[in-house]
Structure 1
Amino acid sequence: MLMSAAKSTLVLVDFQERLIPAIDDAESVVERALTLAELAQLMEVPIIGTAQSPDKLGATIDRIHQHCQQTLHKNTFDACESGLLNALEDRRTHVVIGGCEAHICVLQTAMGLLDAGFRVWVVADAVGSRLPANRELALQRLHQQGADIVSTEMVAFEWLGRADHPQFRNALAQIK
């Protein structure tokens, strides 16, 4: 199944001040997440951020935070247990996820969404962990559990759907 912009929500998990410096290849992960956020804005896809224990891990980094319509503060690893399900619009059953750490909060949030009946796409180039092996294990497990593992460009072109989409040139500029 292809994802639809009209049915999608972008969830950006725990891009926080004190966590990001510890993430392997953090700058690339953040850049891909920013690209996703900019694409989501072009395509009118809502963006929800999460922040794990912000008193300990700091606020969401500003470059990400400024794109989020709302940010859920949580102490649970699965954001679904901290209000994410209530924040999602009823007609938006496709959830696209980027974030940190892949094997903890991204994995548990994606599993919670799958359990709740959502279609889930995890954007491999927009997720990270401290150790690359943990990221890879998380992506494998998520795939086995029914999440689609995709890239930022795959999201862009599936949301667009066609070359004559009114936002095609603007989206293309974001991913190049």
Structure 2
Amino acid sequence: MLVIVDMQTRLVPHLDGAQRLTERAGTLLRAANLLDVPVIYTEQNPQRLGGTVDALLADLRAAKGIEKHTFDATLAPAFIDALPPAPATLWIAGAEAHVCALLTVLGLLRLGYRVEYVADAVASRRAADRAVALERAQQDGARLTTVETAIFGWLGSFTHPRFRDVLALIK
């Protein structure tokens, strides 16, 4: 399952590398849709931070959205209810790398999930905060990955019937 954390209209523009983050998260999301990887997304206090950025909305039509008011999404019952049973593997992307995304990663690890933290699809306001978040996630048991590694892992082989469709997303 792919989890997109707090890619919201009043937050994303302030992040270091916001455009790149949105592009990478969008690529990951479109590939997940093509390959039938389930997707959920969170919105932190959307009344204040706005909804999910427009660039991702069309690709989130089939995904389950979770409104939350906790930094760690695992403290929101609706989020927990949307997850597959542990020890499933969850791929985490979004914002901010050192707050909601990281705290959700740590919460998922505590619950027994295998977590792949998608390093090129997370961002913070400051690059240093993102760097510490990636290190902390790895120290606590998450595996770092990239958008392309996740996608090719989902494909498994170039013989997959959707290979060419997915390949077009990353070229």
**TM-score bucket (shorter structure):** over 0.9
* Alpha carbons 1:102, 1:127 under 8 Å: kept: yes
Deviations 1:119-146 (A, max 9, x none): 0001111000000000000000000111
Map of 2:142 onto structure 1: 147
1-side partners of 2:91 and 2:151: how far apart? 11
Correspondence list, 1:1-176, <5 A: 9-68=1-60, 69-82=63-76, 83-90=78-85, 93-176=88-171
Map of 1:6 onto structure 2: none
2-side partners of 1:14 and 1:53: how far apart? 9
Unpaired runs of at least 5, structure 1: 1-8
Q: CA deviation at 1:61?
A: 1.2
* Alpha carbons 1:49, 1:65 under 8 Å: kept: no
Pairs aligned (count) = 168
Q: CA deviation at 1:91?
A: 7.6
Letter of the 2:36 counterpart: E
Letter of the 2:93 counterpart: G
2-side partners of 1:46 and 1:161: how far apart? 17
Q: Percent identity?
A: 45
Deviation beyond 2 Å, 4+ runs, structure 1: 65-68, 89-92
Unpaired runs of at least 5, structure 2: none
Q: CA deviation at 1:89?
A: 2.7
Q: CA deviation at 1:65?
A: 2.9
RMSD (Å), alpha carbons: 1.2
